[in-house]
């Protein structure tokens, strides 16, 4: 069990990364909690709760900044809410090594898609609302299964396959997490319980970090943000490989 000061510092750092990269926070929070001695299933539960705080606040700020595509976010997010309902019950049936392996695959996929994305921007593709909804269901299940919200996959998909501007994709990714994290937290809490004390402290302290991360996101160039996102995923992949092998 971490003390209050450690939880506050952890929450602030996670919130900053969440706002800047448009991720739910679990991408860094789950590995950080495991590094500090938490079992992965406990870390996933805390992460799902923290993401509720950071994603709602971050999406509110993105909406104020007019960088949030509300229509697209609502469609994908609705699918994510449906999918994440099953995540907690599925996680209880899997062992820790399998969950860590799934988490690693998430990070590798995101890294590869961002790394090989062409530099020349292409016209945004028109996608059926049903495809977006089904995509949301899949990401809701898969993301909340390991406590990452699903945006770790959604942002690369929006940028790499649908050719959406990375700043809009980041905002949509964070908005998606609002739906998947609320549903996923409820599922994890019902299925095996969640450390509510740690989740609340980390979640509340993450709000200040989210605010700073979103401010900085709007001030840096798209190229720099992209390079930093690739570096971020690379660090996560190396850490998980070290844990598993």
The residues, ordered by sequence, that sit 6+ positions from 58 with a Cβ below 8 Å of its Cβ are: 18, 19, 22, 174, 210, 213, 214
Return the half-sphere exposure (C-beta side, CA atoms, 13 A cut-off) of residue 237.
15
Decide if 81 contacts 182 (C-beta within 8 A).
Answer: yes
- CB burial string 177-189: b at 16+ within 10 A, e below: bbbbbbbbbbbbb
Helices (H), 85-128: 87-91, 96-115
Number of domains in the chain: 1
**Model pLDDT, residue 130:** 87
Crossing angle of helices 96-115 and 151-160, rounded to 10°: 20
At 68, is the secondary structure helix, strand, or coil?
coil
- Name the residue range of residue 59's domain: 4-244
Determine the Cα–Cα distance for residues 163 and 117; give it in Å rounded to an integer. Answer: 9
CA nearest neighbour of 79 among 157, 154, 28: 154
* pLDDT less than 50: residues of the chain: 118-121
CA nearest neighbour of 155 among 101, 193, 103, 109: 109
Reported pTM: 0.76
Determine the Cα–Cα distance for residues 8 and 1; give it in Å rounded to an integer. Answer: 13
**Model pLDDT, residue 159:** 77
Residue 233: how many CB atoms within 10 A of its CB?
25
**Model pLDDT, residue 14:** 82
Q: What share of the chain is helix, strand, coil (3-state, %, to 5)?
A: 80, 0, 20
The DSSP output letter for 93 is: T
């Amino acid at each position: 069990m971490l003390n209050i000061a450690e939880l506050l510092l952890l929450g602030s750092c996670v919130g900053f990364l969440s706002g800047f990269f448009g991720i739910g926070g679990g991408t860094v929070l789950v590995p950080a909690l495991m590094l500090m001695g938490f079992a992965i299933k406990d870390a996933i539960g805390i992460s799902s709760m923290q993401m509720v705080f950071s994603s709602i606040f971050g999406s509110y700020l993105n909406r104020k900044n007019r960088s949030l595509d509300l229509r697209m976010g609502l469609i994908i997010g609705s699918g994510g809410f449906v999918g994440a309902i099953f995540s907690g019950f599925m996680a209880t049936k899997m062992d820790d090594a399998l969950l860590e392996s799934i988490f690693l695959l998430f990070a590798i996929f995101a890294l590869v898609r961002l790394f090989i994305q062409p530099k020349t921007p292409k016209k945004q593709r028109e996608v059926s609302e049903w495809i977006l909804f089904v995509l949301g269901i899949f990401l809701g299940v898969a993301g909340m299964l390991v406590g990452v919200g699903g945006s770790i996959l959604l942002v690369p998909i929006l940028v790499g396959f649908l050719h959406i501007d990375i700043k809009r994709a980041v905002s949509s990714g964070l908005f998606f997490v609002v739906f998947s994290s609320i549903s996923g937290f409820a599922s994890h809490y019902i299925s095996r319980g969640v450390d509510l004390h740690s989740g609340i402290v980390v979640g509340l302290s993450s709000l200040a970090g989210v605010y700073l991360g979103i401010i900085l996101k709007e001030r840096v160039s798209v190229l720099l943000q992209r390079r930093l996102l690739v570096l971020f995923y690379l660090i996560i992949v190396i850490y998980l490989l070290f844990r598993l092998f």
